[in-house]
């Protein structure tokens, strides 16, 4: 069950008034979950994956998560855990758009906001970049605190900045497929591969033996077969290292002809508001999460 845009924004507006404590966040999430999912969220005894994500937003507030969702600061964590060879080269980081000297950037690059999801500019030809429009989008994102809409706590205190990274594509020559690995305290259990991003996005889910899983979640399956990437087992190993000690996190990696690159760490897949079809997979994924002690 998905909300119309006007109804969703009405609830978000309500959420702006319901802030100031984890209890207020919890009340807001109950309202949002009921309207997005068409049922109540059981905070007292959560069982499904989507329910447990809401519980974790309120009760698992480990300070390190703020670093791990910061697209610049997480690079230090990656270097410490697995080494800098897994990082896409960074071309610069700035507090304000007007600080960027585009003459010093290569012909192709990617701009991202460090504190949110969606603040992205992909530049394939600098001579054709509409800098005015890029500035408008980036500055809008810099003013936004990504935490408030869905109460994804790790984002609340991330410093808004802009990072530039090297433009990278995989063997397709036109895209960089995401390999998004669901991990549970260091144990990878499943992944999905996102293809045709920005065109007609497809999500295909697989188990750790790379067997296609029979469900959808947010986007349809691709209408073509997807091959197991090179060094697939190594990708799982790396995801396990990065997720150790975290009840659940999605480790997003890229694979460029066998070279594994880090993308980001995502604590709340779809923010816990998109159904699995069939629903049994919501509970299957939920069974893999062992909830920690509450840490309000």
Percent of the chain with pLDDT over 70: 92
Cis peptide before 278 (omega within 30 of 0): yes
pLDDT tens for residues 49-76? 999 999 999 999 999 999 999 999 999 9
Report residue 20's pLDDT band, with 50, 70 and 90 as the boundaries: low
Helix or strand run (H / E) with residue 25: helix 22-37
C-beta of residue 138 within 8 angstroms of C-beta of residue 161: no
**DSSP letters for 214-271:** S-BSSSPPPSS--PPPTTHHHHHHHHHHHHTT-SSEEEEEEEETTEEEEEEEESSGGG
Alpha-carbon span 9 to 27, nearest angstrom: 17
| Sign of torsion over alpha carbons 111, 87, 167, 216 | negative
For the chain, domains (ranges, CATH) are 5-59 (no CATH), 89-166 (no CATH), 170-287 (3.30.470)
pLDDT tens for residues 83-135? 999 999 999 999 999 999 999 999 999 999 999 987 799 999 999 999 999 99
| Sign of torsion over alpha carbons 40, 44, 49, 50 | positive
Report residue 176's pLDDT band, with 50, 70 and 90 as the boundaries: confident
Return the residue matching tokens 């994804």. 152
Q: Which pLDDT does position 1 carry in this prediction?
A: 44
CB atoms within 10 A of CB 291: 13
Q: Which pLDDT does position 6 carry in this prediction?
A: 53
| Mean pLDDT of all residues in 29-53 | 96
Alpha-carbon span 230 to 174, nearest angstrom: 18
Alpha-carbon span 205 to 214, nearest angstrom: 8
User: Mean pLDDT for the chain?
Assistant: 92
| Mean pLDDT of all residues in 179-201 | 92
Q: 77: which 2 tokens?
A: 């964590």
């Amino acid at each position: 069950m998905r909300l119309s845009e006007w109804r969703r924004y009405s609830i978000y507006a309500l959420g702006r008034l319901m802030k100031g404590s984890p209890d207020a966040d919890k009340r807001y999430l109950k309202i949002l979950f009921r309207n997005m999912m068409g049922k109540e969220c059981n905070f007292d005894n959560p069982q499904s994956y989507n329910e447990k994500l809401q519980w974790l937003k309120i009760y698992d507030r480990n300070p390190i998560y703020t670093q791990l969702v910061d697209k610049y600061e997480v690079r230090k964590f990656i270097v410490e855990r697995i080494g800098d060879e897994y990082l896409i080269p960074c071309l610069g980081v700035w507090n304000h758009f007007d600080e960027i000297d585009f003459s010093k950037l290569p012909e192709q690059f990617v701009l991202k906001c460090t504190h949110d999801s969606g603040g992205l500019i992909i530049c394939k030809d600098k001579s054709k970049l509409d800098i005015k429009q890029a500035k408008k989008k980036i500055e809008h994102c810099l003013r936004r605190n990504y935490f408030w809409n869905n109460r994804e706590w790790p984002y609340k205190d991330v410093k808004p900045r802009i990072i530039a990274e090297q433009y990278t594509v995989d063997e397709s020559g036109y895209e960089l497929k995401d390999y998004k690995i669901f991990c549970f305290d260091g144990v990878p259990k499943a992944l999905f591969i996102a293809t045709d991003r920005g065109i007609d996005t497809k999500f295909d889910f697989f188990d750790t033996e790379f067997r296609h899983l029979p469900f959808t979640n947010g986007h349809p399956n691709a209408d073509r077969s997807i091959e197991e990437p090179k060094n697939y087992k190594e990708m799982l190993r790396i995801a396990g290292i990065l997720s150790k000690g975290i009840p659940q996190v999605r480790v997003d990696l890229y694979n460029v002809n066998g070279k594994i690159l880090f993308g980001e760490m995502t604590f709340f897949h779809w923010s816990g508001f998109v159904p699995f079809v069939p629903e049994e997979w919501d509970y299957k994924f939920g069974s893999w999460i062992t909830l920690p002690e509450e840490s309000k």
